[in-house]
Structure 1
Amino acid sequence: MKFGKRNLVLSLALTMAFSALAGCSGNSNNSGNAKNAATEAPKASEAAADKKDVSAKDVTLELLYWGDDVQKKLVEAAAEKYTADTGVKINAQVLPADGTFDTFIQTRLQSGELPDISYMGEGDIQKYNEMGILADISDLLKDGSIPEKLPAITIHSPEQKVIGVGLSNQMELLFYSKSKFDEAGVSYPPTKVEDAWDWDTFVANAKKLTKDSKGKTAADAGFDASLTENYGLGFTAGREFHHFWAANANGGGIVSPDGKEFQWDSPKSAEGIQKLADLVNKDKVASPFTYTWSTGIGSAVDALSGGYAMAISGSWDLANIKGNEDIGVGVLPKMEKAVTMNAGAPLVVYNTSKHIEEAKKFYAYMVNPENSLELLKSGAWLPNQADWYTDPALVDKWTGDLPESAKETILSYSTTKDAIVQWPAYYVPAYLKMNTEYEKSIDQALSGKKTVKEIYDSIMPVIKKLWESGKVS
Structure 2
Amino acid sequence: MKKLLFMFMMLVLSVLVVVGCSSSNEETGTNEANTDDSTDTSKTESTDGELITLDLWIHQTNEKETQYYLDRAAEFNEAHEGEIYVEVAPPIIDEGSSYNDAINTALVAGNLPDLIKLDGPFVSSYAASGVIMPIDEYIPEEELTDYVDSIIQQGSHDGKLYSLGAMESSVMLYYNKEIFEAAGIEAPTSVEEAWTWDEFLAVAKELTTEDHKGLNLFMNYGVGEWLTYMGLPFVWSNEGQLLSDDGTTAEGYFNGPETVEALEFIKTLFAEGVVDISPSEMQFEEGKAAMALGGPWIAVSAEEAGLDFGMMPYPYSKVSKSPSGSMAYAVTTNTKHPEAAAKFMLFMTDKESTIGLSQVTGMPPSRESAFNEMDRYEELPLSVMKDQVINTAQARPQTPAYPVLTQLFAEAFQAAALGEDPQAILDQFVPRIDRELSRFND
TM-score bracket, shorter-length normalisation = 0.7 to 0.9
> Between Structure 1 and Structure 2, how many residues are aligned?
396
Question: What is the TM-score normalised by the length of structure 1?
Answer: 0.75
Distance across 2 between alignment mates of 1:133 and 1:183 = 55
Q: Identity over aligned residues, as a percent?
A: 20
Contact 2:136-2:160 within 8 A present in 1 as well: yes
Pick from 81, 87, 91: which aligns with 1:91? 87
User: Could you list the per-position Cα deviations for residues 276-314 of structure 1 after superposition, in whole angstroms to 9, with x for gaps in the alignment?
Assistant: 121011x211111xxxxxx56546xx6233311101011
Query: Does residue 1:230 correspond to 2:195, yes or no?
Result: no
Contact 1:319-1:379 within 8 A present in 2 as well: no
Contact 1:8-1:67 within 8 A present in 2 as well: no
Distance across 2 between alignment mates of 1:129 and 1:231 = 43
Distance across 2 between alignment mates of 1:304 and 1:69 = 21
Letter in 2 for 1:287: D
Letter in 1 for 2:286: S
Contact 2:156-2:163 within 8 A present in 1 as well: no
| Residue 166 (structure 1) aligns with | 165
Compared with structure 1, are the counterparts of its residues 74 and 413 closer, same or farther at alpha carbon in structure 2 (3 Å cutoff)? closer
Query: Does residue 1:135 correspond to 2:129, yes or no?
Result: no
| Residue 254 (structure 2) aligns with | 264
How far the C-alpha of 1:361 sits from its partner, in A, is 0.5
| Residue 63 (structure 1) aligns with | 56
Contact 1:438-1:463 within 8 A present in 2 as well: no
Distance across 1 between alignment mates of 2:280 and 2:400 = 31
Pick from 164, 189, 192: which aligns with 2:190? 192
Letter in 2 for 1:85: A
Compared with structure 1, are the counterparts of its residues 386 and 469 closer, same or farther at alpha carbon in structure 2 (3 Å cutoff)? farther
Contact 1:2-1:345 within 8 A present in 2 as well: no
Letter in 2 for 1:105: I
How far the C-alpha of 1:320 sits from its partner, in A, is 4.0
Distance across 1 between alignment mates of 2:441 and 2:209 = 48
| Residue 330 (structure 2) aligns with | 348
How far the C-alpha of 1:147 sits from its partner, in A, is 4.5
Contact 1:399-1:407 within 8 A present in 2 as well: no
Deviates more, 1:340-349 or 1:428-437: 428-437
Distance across 2 between alignment mates of 1:95 and 1:104 = 8
Query: Does residue 1:252 correspond to 2:240, yes or no?
Result: yes
Contact 1:146-1:368 within 8 A present in 2 as well: no
| Residue 375 (structure 2) aligns with | 399
Task: Trace 1:265-280 onto structure 2 (pairs within 5 A).
Answer: 265-280=255-270
User: Could you list the per-position Cα deviations for residues 156-200 of structure 1 after superposition, in whole angstroms to 9, with x for gaps in the alignment?
Assistant: 554211011222121111111100111222222x12222111111
User: Could you list the per-position Cα deviations for residues 23-50 of structure 1 after superposition, in whole angstroms to 9, with x for gaps in the alignment?
Assistant: xxxxxxxxxxxxxxxxxxxxxxxxxxxx
Higher radius of gyration, 1 or 2: 1
Letter in 2 for 1:362: F
| Residue 275 (structure 2) aligns with | 286
Distance across 1 between alignment mates of 2:269 and 2:199 = 13
| Residue 42 (structure 2) aligns with | none
Ranges in structure 1 where 5+ consecutive residues have no aligned partner? 16-50, 213-228, 289-294, 390-394
> Alpha carbon RMSD of aligned pairs, Å?
3.1
How far the C-alpha of 1:338 sits from its partner, in A, is 1.7
Query: Does residue 1:314 correspond to 2:295, yes or no?
Result: yes
List structure 1 segments (4+ residues) > 6 angstroms apart after TM superposition. none
Compared with structure 1, are the counterparts of its residues 340 and 123 closer, same or farther at alpha carbon in structure 2 (3 Å cutoff)? closer
Contact 2:175-2:292 within 8 A present in 1 as well: yes
Compared with structure 1, are the counterparts of its residues 151 and 260 closer, same or farther at alpha carbon in structure 2 (3 Å cutoff)? farther
Ranges in structure 2 where 5+ consecutive residues have no aligned partner? 1-16, 35-44
| Residue 366 (structure 1) aligns with | 348
Letter in 2 for 1:317: I
Q: Which has the higher contact order (CA 8 A, sep 6+)?
A: 2
Distance across 2 between alignment mates of 1:207 and 1:166 = 39
Distance across 2 between alignment mates of 1:467 and 1:405 = 43
How far the C-alpha of 1:383 sits from its partner, in A, is 1.9
Distance across 1 between alignment mates of 2:298 and 2:409 = 27
How far the C-alpha of 1:91 sits from its partner, in A, is 1.3
User: Could you list the per-position Cα deviations for residues 354-398 of structure 1 after superposition, in whole angstroms to 9, with x for gaps in the alignment?
Assistant: 222211111100111322323324662212124445xxxxx2x22
Question: What is the TM-score normalised by the length of structure 2?
Answer: 0.79
Compared with structure 1, are the counterparts of its residues 363 and 9 closer, same or farther at alpha carbon in structure 2 (3 Å cutoff)? farther
SS state at 1:232 partner = coil
How far the C-alpha of 1:125 sits from its partner, in A, is 2.2
| Residue 393 (structure 2) aligns with | 420
User: Could you list the per-position Cα deviations for residues 319-366 of structure 1 after superposition, in whole angstroms to 9, with x for gaps in the alignment?
Assistant: 445585711011011112221111212211113212222111111001
Compared with structure 1, are the counterparts of its residues 75 and 460 closer, same or farther at alpha carbon in structure 2 (3 Å cutoff)? closer
How far the C-alpha of 1:66 sits from its partner, in A, is 1.2
Pick from 358, 383, 388: which aligns with 1:408? 383
Distance across 1 between alignment mates of 2:441 and 2:281 = 34
Distance across 2 between alignment mates of 1:470 and 1:198 = 38
How far the C-alpha of 1:447 sits from its partner, in A, is 0.9
Contact 1:280-1:286 within 8 A present in 2 as well: yes
